[in-house]
Chain A
Amino acid sequence: MIKQSIIENVLEAALSTGGDFSEVFIEDKYVNRIELQSGKIEKSISGRDFGVGIRIFSGLQSIYTYTTDFSEEGLLIAAKRAAHAIKGGAQGIIHPLRKETFNPIHQIALMPQTVEHARKVSVMRKANEIARNYDERIRQVALRYIDEEQNVLIANSEGKFVEDTRVHSRLSIQATASDGIEMQTGFYGPGAHAGFEFIENLNLEHYAGEAARIAVTMLGAEECPSGKFSVIIDNEFGGVIFHEACGHGLEATSVAKDNSVFANRIGEKVAPDIVTYIDDGTLPNEWGSLNIDDEGEKTRKNVLIENGILKGYLIDKFNARRMNADATGSSRRESYRFNPTSRMTNTYIAPGTSSPDDIIASTEYGIYAKYMGGGQVNPATGDYNFAVMEAYLVKNGKIDSPVRGATLIGNGAKTLQLVDRVGNNLAHGAGLCGASSGSLPVNVGQPMIRVSEITVGGTKGE
């Protein structure tokens, strides 16, 4: 993408004022986005993102700059501008660049850039029809198709020089149902670190059908009662609750500065024995997977909580300095525009032994969250909140009527202690996670779990 000799010069210029580490991240990304609404292909845009991020460390100071000017002169100006932030020291040392190679874990069969738009559109039309035909109350179906081919080159003053190509494909389906007075929506957004083969092999009957079914079901739903209840959260995207409730609190971004309820607690019991929590960027072709992270480190399986004991954090190179620990292949950024930091990849609760039927049968009264919406956490306090997209009351061990407007709130560290069942049906769901280094594809996953008590907010009152 850019000549090696230029990269070396930039790495050197970045250390001209005494920095002790410099890094160049070059990104060349092709994007296609197509939107279908009201049965028609309405918007389609293609583009190329291209830019360079330069990072310098000087002890516990991190300096970042990025530019879209890829000329040697432009890059050197950017590097010097960044270096200027460090107060005069001796020229830092640059090790000779050694090209690293690896066997990619995530094989791509059909590069999206080589696939004609017409084939992409044809899948969208099929999904649209399935959702439309699900029920006459489906009034609108909005489909968003996106593919990205991100080529990266990462080089640093320690001699690292590595390249990778990441391919992401996703189809988001939103169905709107109306009975003439009210409107409700349902959503499903399967995605993978894979090429167009993923989109063409999608089980559209399932995904488009579910989006429509959720919208229609919620149309007939009663208002959710509020109070403290047992909450059963189903597998797959249900894992978003632990992504928020504890995943963010285990990122070095929060832990390194003690801005997390989980800081300085390695070896402590933070959850019941049945809880094992893992972040694994190596799962083949999963949405949150990578061959190497955005610092060029190979991704790996990081066990965060094992049988209830806190085992580790997600650590990037910079926070590793503050924490005096090793990086864990977890450093990520949305693009060259972001200073990378520790982030999740595919994070999940490992499967337990309970069968989903038994979990429901053993619940006298509570809420069953079949599909979760998104959520948010304040990592410093651990307070979280989530929307439940499709919820039901559970009465006497049986799933009862659907309810809408359910919101779950609580404190991550406390909720984790209250997990009392972990099912045996692990599955993963795709989401986008927003934090300081941008919006990133992440998987959240879990088997069905039950929490003995969560505060449920609803419109109905107690």
Chain B
Amino acid sequence: MNITEFQEELLSKAMGAGFEEAEVYYERSNSFQCMIFKGDIDSYETSEDSGVGLRGLYKGKMGYAYTEKLDEDSISFLIDNAKANAAILDEDDGTDIFEGSKEYVGYKFYSEELAKVQIPEKIELLTTIEEKILAYDPRIVTLNYCVLQDFSGERLLSNSKGLSLHENKNGLIIFISALVKEGEEMKTGSFIKMTRDFGSLNADEIAKEAAEEALSNLGEKSIPAGKYPIIMRYDAAASLLSTFAPIFSAENTQKDQSLLKGKVGKKIASDFFTILDDPFHPDAVAGSNFDGEGVATKTRAIVSNGTLETLLHNRKTAKIEGCETTGHAQKASYKSTLSVAPLNMYIVPGHKSKDDLITSLSEGILITELSGLHSGANTISGDFSVAATGFHIKDGTISSSVKQMTIAGNFFDFMKDIEEIGSDLHFRPGGYGSPSLHVKELSVTVD
């Protein structure tokens, strides 16, 4: 079925069925993924899929429905279900369907060059990387993950107010995890990279980085529990930021689910701490020209030198507070209702390299990986107590890796306790970035 025709028919039938306003959201994507194990293709996956969501105002309330089966019956399925869902809501959504922003940046999230790269080239790169890692050091036992994934997709938003937006996106991710063994000690180390520039991927560099990451974790020692100054490496810092990003959502402050309620204009973090949300950052692969309601996105300061500049809003939360939307309506897919989320949030880098941050510590811990954030971090209280991988720093140098640790603290305190910010900004595939951070102290317990 042709999507343009389907869309027009759905909109006109929805309006005919009593919707005051309606919007159709469509996504289509293709992907390829393969995993190499000991020189062979272990798994090989391709996909092609699409789905459509209907969002419509019915008797003043916003109903939703979606389907992945596009046929004659799906139009009535969408209309009937969206009506039934609108009917049980307790109040007006407070918003209507959006007529469109004056201007859109029109940033390109799609690389024609990347689209031209053929599957055999991708497999060859991945096979070469595996080979080089396995040959790098005899202590490398195997790669428990050696995966390449790429995707391309389009999304389309059109509504009864005449707005029609379209965007293409593609990208490629490489994920590697190596298992290393020395005596009885076993460790893993992982590497992840997302890019739109296939040519920038260098097998030697990737192999070296992934192998060194895993090998460096060997030789673990235990250290006494206690409070230690912390260098949180860029990737661990970005994962912590992504976990606590919901605190910046106005949807959460309005529902008493974030302690940043009433804090706009107030100091919430140390003076050097600035957070930007930049959907067009060239080093990041996440981002978009329009949000889930069709509002134009733009680069914004969320925290400037420690002061909370704004919360993240969609049109509904903005209306409640009498302000403008910040273009942060999130629609994770056609299967989702609207919520609020950042596009590509990151901590603005400072001037010192990670090594310089380490040199400045007489004693401390370098954290390179956090795990268990989904369960050990509470975005409502700000408390976190999670497992960590890292190194003991003594007299300004790394002395050894540390046995599995937990680190515990509170994110609201963490933002205030940042003493220095590194220059090494890195982005995660999901759209969060950070440089390495020097934090005053966290509670550390070692296994």
Contacts and interface: CB of A to CB of B under 8 A. Distances in A.
A409 B91 contact: no
A118 interface: yes
A70 B69 contact: yes
A51 interface: yes
Nearest to A117: B88
Contact of B46 (A47, A81, A381, A455): A81
Interface in A44-101: 44-51, 60-70, 78, 81-82, 85
Contacts of B70: 68
A40 interface: yes
Given A49-B51, A61-B41, A387-B386, 4 more contacts: A381-B179, A384-B387, A410-B447, A462-B226
Nearest to A33: B337
B378 A45 contact: no
Interface residues of A, number: 83
A376 B375 contact: yes
Interface string B215-240: 00000000011110000000000000
A45 B255 contact: no
A337 interface: yes
A457 B68 contact: no
B135 interface: no
A41 interface: yes
B121 to A, nearest CB: 14
Given A68-B50, A386-B375, A457-B408, A140 B257 contact: yes
B69 A28 contact: yes
B134 interface: no
Interface string A307-335: 00000000000000000000000000000
Interface stretch (A164-172, A182-190, A195-203): A182-190
Interface in B357-390: 371-372, 374-376, 378, 380-381, 383, 385-387
A143 to B, nearest CB: 13
Contact of B255 (A37, A60, A337, A405): A37
B12 interface: no
Query: Which secondary structure characterizes the binding site on chain B?
Result: strand
Contact of A381 (B66, B187, B372, B378): B187
Contacts of A258: 142
Interface string B46-58: 1111110100000
A438 interface: no
Interface centre among A64, A78, A183, A457 (most CB of B within 10 A): A457
Interface stretch (B274-282, B399-407, B422-430): B399-407
Interface stretch (B77-85, B160-168, B198-206): B77-85
19 contacts: A40-B89, A43-B89, A44-B64, A48-B77, A60-B40, A63-B45, A64-B44, A139-B256, A226-B408, A226-B445, A259-B144, A381-B188, A383-B404, A387-B386, A405-B383, A407-B408, A459-B385, A460-B443, A462-B224
A41 B88 contact: yes
B42 interface: yes
A34 interface: yes
Nearest to B442: A459
B371 A376 contact: yes
Contacts of B404: 383, 385, 409-411, 455
B87 interface: yes
A254 B37 CA distance: 13
Contacts of A40: 89-91
Interface string A1-39: 000000000000000000000000000100000110111
B43 interface: yes
Interface centre among A227, A385, A410 (most CB of B within 10 A): A385
A30 B188 CA distance: 40
A378 interface: yes
Contact of A386 (B87, B372, B443, B447): B372
A265 interface: no
Interface residues of B, number: 75
B246 interface: no
B445 A456 contact: yes
A352 interface: no
Contact of B89 (A42, A82, A118): A42
A462 B225 contact: yes
B386 A385 contact: yes
A62 B41 CA distance: 8
Interface of B: 37, 40-51, 53, 63-70, 74, 77, 81-82, 84-91, 142, 144, 177, 179, 186-188, 224-227, 255-257, 259, 335-337, 371-372, 374-376, 378, 380-381, 383, 385-387, 404-410, 443, 445-447
A45 B43 contact: no
A81 B32 CA distance: 11
B376 to A, nearest CB: 4
Interface string A107-144: 00000000001100100000000000000000110100
- A-B pairs with lowest CB-CB distance, top 9: A457-B406, A374-B375, A385-B387, A457-B445, A50-B69, A226-B445, A47-B66, A40-B90, A44-B85
Contacts of B67: 47-48, 50
A380 interface: yes
Interface of A: 28, 34-35, 37-51, 60-70, 78, 81-82, 85, 117-118, 121, 139-140, 142, 176, 178, 182-185, 224, 226-227, 254, 257-259, 261, 337, 339, 373-376, 378-381, 383-387, 404-407, 409-411, 455-462
B375 to A, nearest CB: 3
Nearest to B385: A407
Contacts of A45: 64-66, 85, 335-337
B65 A62 contact: no
B387 A407 contact: yes
B381 A185 contact: yes
Contact of A407 (B42, B225, B226, B372): B372
Contacts of A406: 385
A94 to B, nearest CB: 21
B445 A458 contact: yes
A459 B383 contact: yes
B363 to A, nearest CB: 16
Contact of B88 (A34, A50, A456): A34
B401 to A, nearest CB: 13
Given A45-B65, A63-B44, A117-B88, A407 B386 contact: yes
B385 A227 contact: no
Interface centre among B44, B68, B224, B385 (most CB of A within 10 A): B385
B445 A182 contact: no
Given A61-B40, A376-B375, A457 B405 contact: yes
Interface centre among A28, A66, A379 (most CB of B within 10 A): A66
B50 A461 contact: no
A85 B44 contact: yes
Nearest to B381: A183
Contacts of B380: 176, 183-185
Contacts of A49: 51, 68, 335
Given A51-B49, A259-B179, A373-B376, A68 B387 contact: no
A226 B443 contact: yes
A227 B225 contact: yes
A68 B48 contact: yes
B408 A459 contact: yes
Contacts of B374: 374, 376
Contacts of B74: 48
Interface centre among B46, B88, B227, B445 (most CB of A within 10 A): B445
B382 to A, nearest CB: 8
Contacts of B82: 46
A339 B371 contact: no
B44 A226 contact: no
Contacts of B144: 254, 257, 259, 379-380
Contacts of B50: 68
A87 to B, nearest CB: 10
Nearest to A78: B48
A386 B404 CA distance: 13
Contacts of A384: 387
A159 B177 CA distance: 38
